[in-house]
Each structure stands twice: as C-alpha cells, then as structure tokens.
C-alpha cells in the first residue's frame, strides 16, 4: 500500500530557503515536512559564492535589497555564528572604473546606514598583498563569509530538533488539489522509486531554479529566469577579507575567502534548464581576465575546481527579454490563492543566501495568517549553537591538526565525537587535506545503507582540498564496507560517481598542477586499482 | 662532454641510462625530484587500464610488425637486469596475466616481480589487511575479488601490524616494519590466531598489501608462504606501493654503481640547439645554472603526470627543451640527436594518463639500441 503522511505544511526544496522555512515553522510550533529531491543543498544553496553581503554591492542599483542584506548580515552574525566568518570586506576602485559611481555608492551607503570607511592604500596593500597596486581607493565594509554546507546542516538539524520532518532524496512529482485549494503533494523516493502522498493544507514552493516545474504541476502560471553563474576555487586562501570591485555589479568582481581557499566569481548567463550545471572554459577565461584587474597574479595561482549554480530570478510580467542582472534580486513571495485562485500554495523565490532568514520569516508570517495562528517569528533572536567546542578531545588520540579542525567543527556534537573517538581507529585521519577523521565520516553516513561521497563531503569537508578526493574517497568507500556501512557494489558505485563528479569540476580548470592531479586520480583508479575493467565490463 | 645525457629519472630514464652505460657510453642522468615510478604499482602493463594482447598493443603504439622480436628482446633484457638487481620480474608479454589490485578488482599485467602471484580462478583465498593501513581494506577487497572470481572462496581478516598500533601507515611504512624478523613472526602468529578465531580453514592463496618487506622482501615472501603453507601475493594499489619502490631503489643504485653521473635535484630548463642538433642542455640546480653537453640526448621527462608536458590554457607545452609540439604534446621535427623514451612522446601514447610499463621499457631500449625499423627513433651507431 502507498504510504501516506499528514502534516500542516509541506515545504518543497531543501535549499537554504526551504530549510530556513522549515526551521521557522518548527520554532513556531507548526507541523511541517520538507521534501528535497537530492541531498540538502542539491541546488543553488551549495553552488554560490558564500558571501554574507553587507548590502554595499546593491547600494546603488537596488537600495531595498541592500538594506535587507545589511540588516540580515547583522542578525546572522549573531544567530548563526558557527557558519559565518566575520572577515570584513573591501571595495576597491581601480583605474578605468566610473568615478561618478563611487560618489553615488558612498552617498547611498551613507543614506542606508551601512558603515563604510576609506582606508589608506598602504594599509590595504599591507593587509592584502595580492591586491593590485593600481588601486585608487579602498573602502572597508562589514561583509562576511558563509559556509553554506554547515549552514544548511545546522538549520535543518535545529528544525528537526524542534519536531520538523525532513525527507531528502524524495522528489515531488505532483500537487494534489481539491476544488481551488491544494491538499498535498505526491512524492517519490528517488532511490527505490517508492511513492508516497503527503497531505497538507499548505504547500510551499521553495524549489529555487526548479520553481516553475512545481507551478506547472499545480497549474498556476509562474515565470522564473534562471541566471547561471560560474565560480572557481583557488588552491589556497590569498585574501583575508572579501575583495569586491567598486563599480556597477558585473562579472568576475568578487574574491571570497572560504576556510583555506579563495573563491572567485562570477558570471551570469540565462539557462532554461534548472539541471544545467555545465561549465564553460571560455566563460572562465574571460572572468579570470577581468579578475586580473583586482588581483594581477590571478593567472599564476592554481585553480583546483570550478562549479556553477543558477539564481532563480522572479519575473513579474512574463515575456520581457532580460539579461538576468536587470531583474531585481529581491525576493518574491507569491500567494497563489490571491494571485491565481489556488489557495494554500505559496511560492517563495529570488532573494539571496544572506536574506534566507527574512524570506522564511515573511513566508511563515503568511502561513500563520492563513492558518489563523498568531505565533511570532523568533529567528531574529534564537541563535543556532556555535561550531566551536571548548573541549579539547583530550580522551582521543588525535593528530594536532585533526584536533584543531574538530574544535572548530564539532560544536554540539562534541560529546558524540568524544565517545566515538575513544576507538583508536575512529581517530585515524582519512582525509589529510581537510583533516577528517573516520569518526566524522562514520557519523555522516546515513543508517539506511546509502553511501554518497558528496553527501559526506558536504558534512565533513572530505575531499575538498587540493587532492580533490584522490586518496580519501577510496579509503572512505572501502572503510564503509569494512564497517558494514555499505555493500561493495554500492561502495564501488559511490566511488565511481564521486570520481566522476570531482573530475567534472576539475576538468575545466585543469592546467598545470591541477591537470597533473586530475591525471593522477584517473591513473590510480583506472589503472592501479583496476577500476578500468569495471567500466569496460559495464559497457558490454 | 657525455656520450648520452638522459633527462628524467622515471622507469624510462633509469633504464635508458643503465643500458647506455652498459654499452660503455659516458652517461649522465638529470633528475628533478623523484620519478613517477614512485607512485606506480611496480607491475608493467601493456595497455593501461584495459586488457589487450601484444598484437593489439603494437597496433596502439607506433610499432611495425617486424618489431616484435625487438620487443621480446627488450623484455628479455629487462628481466635479465632485474635478476641481476636481485628483484626478478616474471611474465611474458605475449601472455598477460590477471593480478589482484588493492581494490580487489583484477587487472591484467605483463611483467611482475616475485612478490606478485597471478590470481587463480578457484581455490580458497584470504585477504589480510593491517589495522594501521587505511589504503588497504580487506573486507572491501575480498568482496570485490569474490565478484571477480565467483568460483573462489574468499575470506578477509584484519590484524594490527605494530605492537601498539596508533599511527596511520602507508604501504611503504608497513613494508619497512616487515623488514624486521620479529614483526614478521608476530604477524604470522596474529594471522593464525585470526584464522582460528574466525574458523577459516586452510587457504591456498593469501593476498597482502604491497608491503611484504622493503629490503627483506625475499625473506618475507619465504617466511610467509612457508608459514602459511600457501601461495602469497602482494596486491598493489594506492601509492606508495613497495612493489614499485623496490624497483626504483634498485634501478637507481644500479645506475650509480655502474657509473652513470647523476645530477640530483636538477631541472633542465632549455637547450642549445643548432641546425636541429642539440649541443648541450641548460640545467638549474639549487643555487646555480650550468650547461651539460652531450652527443646524444634521451628525453624521458614523462607526460603530463611526470611534468615533461604541461597543460596550459593555450595547449600542451614541452617543459624541458621547449620543443614545438602538436596538439597532443608530441614533439614536431625533434632534433636529430634526441630520442624520446616513455611518456614524453605525447598524450597520444597515454591511456588513463600513463603509457604503461612495457612501453616505457621498450622505448628506453629503442632509444639506446634502436629498433630494426624504427618509428620512435633509435640511437644508431
Ligand atoms: C553563482 C551564484 C552566486 C551567488 N552568490 C551569493 C552570495 O555570495 N551571497 C548570497 O547571499 N547569495 C548568493 N547567491 C544567491 C543564493 O545562492 C540563492 O539565492 C539561494 O541559494 C537560493 O536558495 P533556494 O533554497 O531558494 O534554492 P536552491 O538552493 O536551488 O533550493 C531549491 C531546492 O529545491 C529542490 N527541488 C527542486 N525541485 C524539486 C522537486 N520536484 N522535488 C523535491 N525537491 C525539489 C532542489 O533540489 C533544490 O535543492 C548566489 C547565487 C548564484 C547562482
Ligand atoms: C599512479 C601511477 C600508477 C601507475 N601504475 C602503473 C601500472 O599499474 N602499470 C604500469 O605498467 N605502469 C604504471 N605506472 C607507470 C607508467 O606506466 C610509466 O611507466 C611511467 O609513468 C612513465 O614513466 P616515464 O619514465 O616516461 O616518466 P615519469 O615516471 O613521469 O618520469 C619523468 C620524470 O622526469 C622528471 N622531469 C620532468 N621534467 C624534467 C626536467 N625539465 N628536468 C629534469 N627532470 C625532469 C620528472 O621529475 C619526472 O618524475 C604508473 C604510474 C603512476 C604515476
């Protein structure tokens, strides 16, 4: 018999928007289920720049979005400390860029109350040695950086801790309606094909770039432009703070430090297919050339991978041609009852990572209105636990670097790891680049026997360093079999999938050392370990 | 002035240098860092990553059918060399054999040292892992091997190698531990104990990581096969593999002892080429630069993996001599006294990133002795 479930609100999409909504609902005591077709962060929420905007970037073009960003910036620094690094940011004016823009920008930031201060050039050069010496003016702003992986994991965990339910690897295949009201969703388990109905009087479409598909299922009109941006990752972190180019926002003008690397981007090209994560070398080369205006040595620095994601941009009037950046990045909250006569369906889209909490607040306010509830939003104040742990894991036999990593990573799970690390083997470092122990990996493998190296990577940073999983992916898959966490078939498949995925991101940036590393990965798997035969066999 | 200057110290470079020196030539070998053989498996394949006969191999690589005798002679010369080095290689390039890897999958190889035994079709195998060694997980390996060999019974056990195991070891670390007699004896005791505990009956094939001793591999092999009463094999996989390190160390020592002049930590940065003839190569050492002159030069700098070729946004570049290359990195119209050995001949020679050990040894042979009818170019007189 088909499984069925009943709840008050069904949330579609496990990106930062949907996950934020799930937490807000849970904190207000409203029963909710979130359905995500892949792992948490399958979409744009792990395919972005990770910049905690100060609002400055939008100060001239979109003051409303700028203010929202700045306010959320302050709130998130307080409430999600575990996923934010308060790096600060710089806006740099280089020769050739419009002087008038600088004046308008300063004027607007001032009016909006975003604190901006000019710093002497010598100081900027001292603090950011790779910054172009051609810089004409440098301003500091309260930008920060967000680790979107930990953000999603922590927000979701808090929602679940407050009673919400989370179904990953489940795809929404249909919207149920009764007369002019939604009554729930059909979902399908993407791994075993099992179907299920979730009954809910309110359904929230937070499917990001896939939002139009959901609207279509419900039979309501919706136009979203997917604007795809490409980002590249450098092998090391060469800037302390975020470095922005001070001009009207364009391609290739932001350098964001993230843990031990620097991420540079981005571009913007419209695409019709939300599943289009393709990478284009020419687009990347152009972006790098632009980036050289800020960081002249950019071409000498080693790239370890590239990725892309799409901004879902809501378009009010369908039809008008748009380049993506002309459309507001502001959020769109649509009550399809009012708009299209289908009550109970809400779409929330657009916005930014930085404004996810506000998007959730507004969405759940609307939900409360519909449910006749007067529960108030608490996420402005209610903080998520920090990721730091004062405990030094003294009981565990850990390498110093692994200990350091855990102390900035384990957070509320410290007691859990304290226990699991008592086992000597669990304390062994499996991923040397990112200092990930078996204990962390073990905790990230779901109990249901599904093994996915990407899911583990998002939870532990496994394979994110310069070797891009060459050594640790193999160890992880084999150890999973060893510890009864997966079958061999599954481990082999996970491994081949993992290698393919890493290869895709490396392929487009594969010159110099990264080309070598890519080749080494291929040789080790296909030749040394004999997986080459496996592929041959599968083809016949 | 040298007769032969070899650039690069991988398998190809070392063989070319040793053989040239063996012909009485004054020989130099210029080496920056360590050769890729250090990351290799130590077995020599025909077509990397796939099965294939010698005939198919000869077609895929640029040889003529008449070259078969040369190929066999090159292989015979290599095998004789390894016997002389005290690390003998077995196998026949006309009949590749299946060997088990560190993932439990089976691959075909042509030449392999004494520590590697081809995997049988049936019988009872036990995969032995060491607790401290994350790169070799016996249960995973045994299950993959079982899939590959349905008629075989495959078991797995795991023992600590050290006295007080806490450090994570590589296969090479483990090999060094097993150089000690007491460690070997303890290891055997633990294996017997585990077999008894798990009720595993007498097996006839034991699969180990590529760790059966570094210096004392022969004693380890003997002690283990006698102690276990079965055939024993190393299953090479994740680098470093002791199987390959032994070959590397012995070849290097041989080169030194036979009088090859080694330029360690030295990089070739260019050449003095006149009328398509190399007079000398420019080299850079830690704190100085100089020229090394020679009559003949062997380019054994490897491909993309070895660093002889570099992928740039504008295409593939030859890094040592700055030769013009085609889209695959194959030198176009190379100097008349330059010979290409191994992966330096361009990307069209590599499969899954490498050329395979057999091509390395045959092209090194060709660069010293020439082939009857040559495509790669041979050192005539
Ligand atoms: C290149 C780029 C750089 C960016 N940089 C920044 C930045 O630096 N700072 C910032 O604040 N913002 C940035 N953004 C914006 C930000 O990333 C997005 O606004 C945000 O991640 C959108 O989140 P979302 O949850 O709405 O969408 P998504 O993260 O895409 O989530 C939608 C989810 O819905 C799921 N889904 C879709 N269809 C179904 C279905 N049928 N069934 C079940 N699940 C389904 C998808 O799998 C997906 O996980 C950037 C965006 C891009 C593209
Ligand atoms: C991970 C891995 C697994 C392998 N597995 C197998 C296997 O299973 N079976 C098999 O048959 N073979 C295997 N091989 C070996 C491979 O087949 C070849 O034998 C080998 O890589 C090719 O060797 P080479 O001598 O041409 O070049 P390399 O081994 O690449 O050596 C070239 C060396 O030249 C040096 N060099 C480069 N430029 C300069 C310069 N300008 N000046 C001075 N020195 C320079 C570099 O330091 C480099 O190490 C493997 C190799 C690797 C890396």
State the Cα angle at B23 between B374 and B73, rounded to 5°. 50
Q: What would you measure as the largest C-alpha separation in chain B, in angstroms?
A: 74
Closest C-alpha residue for ligand 1 atom 4: A48
Q: Residues A411-455: pLDDT tens digits?
A: 889 999 999 998 888 998 999 989 999 999 999 998 777 899 999
Q: Residues A454-473: pLDDT tens digits?
A: 999 999 999 988 888 999 99
Q: Is A379 in the pocket of ligand 1 (CB under 6 A)?
A: no
3-state helix, strand, coil split of chain A in percent (to 5) is 40, 20, 40
User: B193: which residues sit within 8 A by CB, 6+ positions away?
Assistant: none
Q: Are strands A242-245 and A254-258 parallel, antiparallel or unpaired?
A: antiparallel
The C-alpha torsion from B93 through B220 and B250 to A530, rounded to 10°, is 40
Q: Residues A130-172: pLDDT tens digits?
A: 999 999 999 999 999 999 999 999 999 999 999 999 999 999 9
Spatial contact of B339 and B19, defined as CB atoms under 8 Å apart: no
pLDDT of A533 = 54
pLDDT of B12 = 96
Spatial separation of the C-alpha atoms in residues A257 and A242, rounded to whole Å: 6
Q: Considering chain B, what is the average pLDDT of its residues?
A: 94
pLDDT of A536 = 47
Q: Do A488 and B144 touch (CB under 8 A)?
A: yes
Task: Tell me the CA distances in angstroms from A200 to A191, A342, B354, one per residue in order.
Answer: 24, 14, 57
Beta bridge partners of A204: A11, A346
Task: Tell me the CA distances in angstroms from A141 to A73, A90, B232, one per residue in order.
Answer: 11, 6, 66
Spatial separation of the C-alpha atoms in residues A507 and A524, rounded to whole Å: 17
Q: Residues A106-129: pLDDT tens digits?
A: 999 999 999 999 999 999 999 999
Count of CB atoms situated within 10 Å of the CB of B295:
16
Reported as a pLDDT band with limits 50, 70 and 90, residue B164 is low
How many beta-carbon contacts under 8 Å exist across A and B? Answer: 123
Q: Residues A503-527: pLDDT tens digits?
A: 888 888 888 888 888 899 999 999 9
pLDDT of B87 = 98
Task: Using an 8 Å CB-CB cutoff, list chain A residues near B143.
Answer: 481, 487-488
Unique residue bearing structure tokens 């039979």: A219
Distance A223 CA to ligand 1 centre (A): 16
Q: Residues A332-357: pLDDT tens digits?
A: 999 999 999 999 999 999 999 999 99
Q: Residues B212-268: pLDDT tens digits?
A: 999 999 999 999 999 999 999 999 999 999 999 999 999 999 999 999 999 999 999
Spatial separation of the C-alpha atoms in residues B171 and B168, rounded to whole Å: 10
**Residue A137: left if φ>0, alpha if ψ -120 to 50, beta else—which one?**
beta
Indicate if the pLDDT at residue A540 is higher than 60: no
User: A75: which residues sit within 8 A by CB, 6+ positions away?
Assistant: A357, A380
Task: Using an 8 Å CB-CB cutoff, list chain A residues near B352.
Answer: 522-523, 526-527, 532
pLDDT of A448 = 78
- Closest residue of chain B to A522, computed from CA coordinates: B352
Structure tokens at A29: 């005591």
Spatial contact of A368 and A383, defined as CB atoms under 8 Å apart: no
Q: Are strands B27-30 and B261-263 parallel, antiparallel or unpaired?
A: parallel
Read off the pLDDT of each residue in A3-26 and give the average, rounded to a whole number. 97
Indicate if the pLDDT at residue A98 is higher than 60: yes
Read off the pLDDT of each residue in A72-93 and give the average, rounded to a whole number. 97
Indicate if the pLDDT at residue B176 is higher than 70: yes
Three-state DSSP state, A146: strand
Indicate if the pLDDT at residue B178 is higher than 80: yes
Spatial contact of B330 and B61, defined as CB atoms under 8 Å apart: no
A34 alpha carbon, closest ligand: 1
Read off the pLDDT of each residue in A375-399 and give the average, rounded to a whole number. 90
Helices and strands in chain A, H and E counts: 17, 24
pLDDT of A391 = 76
Q: Do B51 and A533 touch (CB under 8 A)?
A: yes
Indicate if the pLDDT at residue A534 is higher than 60: no
Spatial contact of A92 and A245, defined as CB atoms under 8 Å apart: yes
Q: Do A529 and B105 touch (CB under 8 A)?
A: yes
Please write down the HEC assignment for all residues of A463-528: CCCCCCCCCHHHHHHHHHHHCCCCCHHHHHHHHHHHHHHHHHHHHCCCCHHHHHHHHHHHHHHHHH
**Bond from prior residue into A204 cis (ω within 30 degrees of 0):** no
Distance B378 CA to ligand 2 centre (A): 21
Read off the pLDDT of each residue in B70-78 and give the average, rounded to a whole number. 96
Q: Which of A208, A225, A253, A330 to mutate to test the pocket of ligand 1 (most atoms within 8 A of CB)?
A: A208
This complex has an ipTM of 0.95
pLDDT of B239 = 96
Distance of CA A308 to the CA centre of its chain: 11
Please give the backbone phi and psi of residue A32, each rounded to the nearest 5 degrees, phi first.
-150, 150
Considering chain A, what percentage of its residues have pLDDT values greater than 70?
96
Task: Using an 8 Å CB-CB cutoff, list chain A residues near B50.
Answer: 532-533, 536
DSSP string, B31-98: -SS--GGGGS-S-B-SSTTS---HHHHHHHTT--GGGHHHHHHHHHHHHHHHHHTT--EE-BTTB-EE
> Residue length, chain A?
540
pLDDT of B209 = 98
Reported as a pLDDT band with limits 50, 70 and 90, residue B168 is confident
Indicate if the pLDDT at residue B35 is higher than 70: yes
Task: Tell me the CA distances in angstroms from A452 to A188, A229, A473, A488, B223, one per residue in order.
Answer: 19, 25, 10, 13, 41
Indicate if the pLDDT at residue A318 is higher than 80: no
Q: Is A13 in the pocket of ligand 1 (CB under 6 A)?
A: yes
Distance B12 CA to ligand 1 centre (A): 51
Nearest to A22 by CA among A399, A457, A363, A271: A363
Read off the pLDDT of each residue in A373-392 and give the average, rounded to a whole number. 92
Strand ranges in chain B using DSSP code E only, listed in sequence order: 2-7, 27-30, 89-90, 97-100, 106-109, 112-113, 123-130, 152-159, 205-209, 231-235, 261-263, 267-274, 277-284, 289-299, 309-312, 315-318, 338-340
pLDDT of B379 = 42
Q: What is the DSSP letter of B331?
A: B
Q: Is B102 in the pocket of ligand 2 (CB under 6 A)?
A: no
User: B74: which residues sit within 8 A by CB, 6+ positions away?
Assistant: B361, B362, B365, B366, B369
Reported as a pLDDT band with limits 50, 70 and 90, residue B78 is very high
* DSSP H or E stretch at residue A265: strand A261-265
Atom of ligand 1 nearest to the CA of A35: 43
Q: Do B107 and A533 touch (CB under 8 A)?
A: yes
> Residue length, chain B?
381
Unique residue bearing structure tokens 């304390």: A427
- How close, in Å, is residue B163 to chain A by CA atoms? 14
Unique residue bearing structure tokens 């490897």: B302
**Bond from prior residue into A266 cis (ω within 30 degrees of 0):** yes
Indicate if the pLDDT at residue B189 is higher than 70: yes
Helix axis angle, B68-84 relative to B242-257, nearest 10°?
90
Closest C-alpha residue for ligand 2 atom 14: B40
Count of CB atoms situated within 10 Å of the CB of B166:
13
Spatial separation of the C-alpha atoms in residues B361 and B40, rounded to whole Å: 14
Q: Which of B37, B110, B365 to mutate to test the pocket of ligand 2 (most atoms within 8 A of CB)?
A: B37
Q: Residues B317-354: pLDDT tens digits?
A: 999 999 999 999 999 999 999 999 999 999 999 999 99
Q: Where in chain A is the domain with CATH 3.30.9.10?
A: 85-144+225-311
- Closest residue of chain A to B104, computed from CA coordinates: A529
Task: Using an 8 Å CB-CB cutoff, list chain B residues near A479.
Answer: 134, 137, 140
Task: Using an 8 Å CB-CB cutoff, list chain A residues near B240.
Answer: none
Reported as a pLDDT band with limits 50, 70 and 90, residue A329 is low
Three-state DSSP state, A158: helix
Structure tokens at B330: 């194959």
pLDDT of B370 = 84
Unique residue bearing structure tokens 């979409």: A43
Spatial separation of the C-alpha atoms in residues B109 and B121, rounded to whole Å: 16
**A85-144+225-311 placed in CATH 3.20.20.70:** no
CA within 13 Å, CB half, A523: 24
User: A317: which residues sit within 8 A by CB, 6+ positions away?
Assistant: A223
Spatial separation of the C-alpha atoms in residues B5 and B321, rounded to whole Å: 13
pLDDT of A506 = 84
CA within 13 Å, CB half, A23: 27
């Amino acid at each position: 018999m088909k499984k069925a479930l009943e709840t008050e609100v069904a949330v579609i999409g496990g990106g930062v928007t949907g996950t934020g909504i799930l937490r807000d609902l849970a904190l207000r005591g409203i029963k909710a289920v979130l359905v995500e077709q892949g792992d948490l962060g399958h979409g744009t929420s792990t395919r972005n720049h990770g910049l905690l905007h100060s609002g400055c970037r939008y100060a001239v073009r979109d003051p409303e979005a700028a203010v929202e960003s700045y306010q959320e910036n302050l709130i998130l620094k307080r409430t999600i400390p575990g996923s934010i690094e308060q790096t600060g940011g710089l806006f740099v004016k280089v020769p050739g860029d419009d002087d008038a823009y600088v004046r308008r920008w300063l004027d607007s930031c001032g009016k909006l109350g975003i604190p901006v201060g000019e710093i002497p050039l010598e100081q900027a050069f001292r603090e950011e040695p790779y910054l172009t010496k051609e810089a004409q003016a440098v301003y500091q702003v309260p930008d920060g950086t967000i680790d979107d992986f930990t953000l999603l994991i922590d927000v979701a965990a808090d929602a679940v801790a407050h009673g919400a339910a989370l179904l990953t690897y489940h795809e929404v295949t249909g919207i149920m309606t009764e007369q002019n009201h939604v009554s729930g969703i059909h979902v399908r388990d993407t791994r075993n094909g099992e179907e299920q109905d979730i009954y809910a009087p309110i359904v929230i479409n937070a499917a990001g770039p896939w939002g139009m598909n959901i609207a279509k299922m419900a039979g309501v009109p919706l136009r979203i432009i997917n604007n795809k941006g490409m980002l590249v990752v450098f092998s090391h972190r060469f800037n302390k703070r975020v470095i922005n180019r001070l001009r009207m926002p364009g391609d290739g003008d932001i350098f964001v430090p993230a843990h031990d690397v620097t991420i540079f981007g981005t571009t913007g090209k419209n695409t019709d297919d939300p599943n289009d994560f393709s990478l284009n070398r020419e687009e990347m080369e152009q972006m790098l050339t632009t980036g050289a205006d800020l960081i002249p040595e950019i071409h000498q620095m080693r790239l370890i991978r590239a990725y892309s994601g799409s901004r879902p941009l809501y378009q009010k009037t369908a039809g008008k041609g748009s380049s993506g950046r002309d459309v507001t990045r502001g959020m769109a909250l649509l009550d399809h009852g009012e708009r299209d006569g289908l009550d109970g369906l809400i779409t929330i889209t657009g916005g930014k990572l930085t404004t996810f909490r506000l998007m959730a607040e507004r969405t759940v306010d609307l939900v409360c209105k519909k449910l006749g509830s007067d529960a108030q939003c608490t996420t402005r104040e209610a903080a998520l636990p920090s990721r730091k742990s004062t405990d030094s894991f003294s009981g565990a036999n850990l390498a110093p670097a692994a200990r350091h990593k855990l102390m900035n990573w384990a957070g509320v799970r410290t007691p859990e790891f304290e226990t699991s690390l008592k086992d000597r083997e669990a304390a062994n470092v499996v991923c040397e680049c990112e200092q990930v122990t078996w204990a962390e990996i073990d905790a990230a493998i779901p109990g249901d026997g599904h093994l996915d190296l990407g899911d583990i990577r998002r939870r532990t940073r496994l394979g994110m360093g310069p070797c891009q999983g060459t050594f640790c992916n193999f160890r992880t898959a084999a150890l999973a079999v060893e510890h009864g966490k997966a079958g061999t078939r599954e481990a082999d498949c996970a491994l081949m999938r993992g290698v393919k995925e890493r290869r895709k991101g490396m392929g487009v940036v594969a010159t110099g050392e990264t080309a070598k590393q890519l080749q080494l990965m291929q040789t080790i798997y296909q030749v040394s370990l004999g997986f080459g035969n496996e592929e041959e066999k599968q083809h016949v | 002035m040298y007769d032969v200057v070899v650039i690069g110290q991988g398998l190809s470079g070392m063989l070319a240098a040793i053989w040239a020196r063996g012909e009485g030539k004054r020989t130099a070998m210029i080496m920056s860092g360590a050769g890729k053989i250090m990351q290799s498996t130590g077995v020599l394949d025909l077509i990397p990553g796939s099965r294939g006969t010698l005939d198919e191999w000869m077609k895929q690589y640029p040889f003529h059918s008449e070259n078969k005798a040369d190929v066999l002679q090159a292989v015979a010369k290599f095998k004789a060399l390894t016997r002389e080095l005290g690390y003998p290689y077995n196998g026949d390039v006309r009949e590749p054999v299946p060997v088990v890897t560190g993932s439990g999958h089976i691959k075909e190889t042509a030449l392999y040292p004494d520590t590697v035994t081809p995997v049988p079709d049936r019988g009872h195998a036990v995969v032995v892992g060491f607790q401290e060694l994350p790169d070799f997980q016996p249960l995973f390996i045994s299950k993959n091997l079982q899939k590959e060999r349905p008629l075989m019974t495959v078991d797995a056990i795991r023992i600590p190698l050290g006295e007080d195991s806490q450090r994570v070891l590589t296969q090479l670390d483990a090999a060094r531990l097993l150089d000690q007699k007491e460690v070997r004896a303890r290891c055997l005791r633990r294996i017997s104990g585990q077999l008894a505990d798990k009720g595993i009956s007498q097996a006839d094939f034991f699969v180990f990581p590529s760790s059966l001793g570094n210096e004392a591999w022969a004693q380890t092999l003997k002690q283990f096969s006698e102690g276990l009463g079965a055939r024993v094999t190393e299953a090479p996989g994740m680098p470093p593999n002791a199987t390959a390190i032994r070959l590397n160390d012995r070849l290097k020592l041989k080169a030194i002892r036979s009088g090859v002049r080694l330029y360690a930590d030295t990089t070739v940065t260019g050449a003095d080429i006149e009328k398509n003839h190399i007079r000398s190569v420019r080299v850079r050492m830690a704190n100085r630069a100089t020229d090394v002159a020679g009559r003949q030069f062997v380019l054994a700098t490897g491909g993309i993996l070895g660093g002889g070729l570099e992928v740039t946004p504008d295409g593939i570049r030859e890094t040592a001599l700055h030769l013009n290359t085609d889209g695959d990195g194959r030198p176009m119209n190379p100097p008349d006294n330059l010979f290409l050995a191994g992966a330096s001949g361009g990307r069209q020679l590599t499969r899954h990133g490498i050329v395979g050990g057999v091509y390395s040894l045959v092209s090194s042979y060709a660069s010293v002795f020439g082939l009857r009818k040559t495509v790669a170019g041979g050192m005539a007189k």
